[in-house]
Structure 1
């Protein structure tokens, strides 16, 4: 008789303290229903927000389980269900699961799950979950920029989209999504990342530190029709910088941000801000379902399989300790958030045991199962 499986989780009892690994109840395979899939996790991605969610009072009802992005194998699915029509036991999958990922076994909504294409390891697509879901909502959601969905072979539209912060995890995916939809991606980043963002499809890149970047970007956007501005990286500082560009344009531009805008009264006139109040946000996971044609339900798995969508940022496996290695990775991510490139170099040295190059490209920290 097979031994009963046990689940373990990274338990976050309150904010401001490290998580600790505990045994937990195994998700019931009898309660999966039509749309749930049980996944045994083989790789976890650490997002930039994970250390912030651990450190700050976010209003959670503690205890909570953090983590969003996982990849693994299907362990159970309800026979005859819509989920079973897409996935079978043993399938390699990756997906997005808001603040429920730091576990050995995770229950997923099958609509936010996709198969890992042949030729890719778990560590590769696990970087995509939260960042592509976030990008898609603000780029294609009807309440935001409402752009056309990407599709293989989409014709060029002759319209541009400004992605502020194109070298970030969200920005890296936003560039690829708008390019896949036929728009020209114009972006900002540091000079050493110009080649990186152009490799993802950006037609032009501007140094966000340039004192004349506002005027230069507005002039670039006004060479043709601009379909909108998306702030992909930064908090209030990023919002202000990006909407200044929108205000300087001769066009009335739609503006959406991955960071909640708390100072709407400061937005310049002429900028069409697509920002809902907290009470108006579509509940999870409904907001993600609206943009599935761009993500797990359509374009993404097809584009990955055809090799026209890149894994970005690049995965950096920092340890193979399973759940016991999650806090170590969160600490490395915190250092990246506080120290920038020096933090990335420290993470690379930690992972590879050797010093990084002077200029390093964006990475996403990965923990693999022991």
Structure 2
């Protein structure tokens, strides 16, 4: 994660023990490579000339000289955190931003100790020293519906799409939280906006933009409102579920019969097929199933073991097939819009 330190923090750090402790905490993360230090042209080397930071002096000078050669990092990152001394300084900053950037979206959180700013695709999180330890020091919380399947999906995607080696994946400061579907709301509220949190869920659409029923739609809309009110990025997958991103090769490697009709479905049908439970008779009312891929209805029905089904799914454990995805190309074959890549980028910016 990229972090910028306001000059006021450095000035007060010379006399304020709490801020001095926070600075030492920050430079430990910078020097260790856990977070990145973003400097600007205004950064004054003398402001860092604090006795208690002497152990980081060589690192500080090296970074300042490196950034000055690049022009001082004038272009802000797409996601970064700015540290201010206290909530009063955040309130002043909020007033200045409201005057200078009237189109920016501002969200004040944690009793004024956190200000989230979104403008032109960029996010700046301004926090006070008071929540530094939890917001910067703790791991990024990734709230999922099913920690087993969703975690495997994300870790495999990081490995293949971001080319992160297995040994480096374990070093990423990620904490996966099991939301368990109905418990997602409680998990998000639990962190009280004092931590970095991102939430990733299935769309549960049975066709493009179509929910199974109004109850499912209202549940999603309620979660969207909650996340917006708490400054939590919510990523809703466009396909029905995580498992709908599985490439054919991985399904076959998992043991799915190569003659299963799924393999001759078109892309849209594959996107919204119920991978675990299968295709039901009332699904045929949906327009995406008007073209049944040329299958004889009696043949399809014969492959089902339940009366209401016309085609079996692959079972509750089909998510395990993600372990058999072997290449970037295989994963991208089921992600034509680079949706996964966009989610990974946001995770890596926040981590």
Normalised by the length of structure 1, the TM-score is 0.24
Structure with the greater alpha carbon radius of gyration: 2
State the structure with bigger RCO (CA 8 A, min sep 6), 1 or 2: 1
Name the one with the larger helix percent: 2
Normalised by the length of structure 2, the TM-score is 0.25
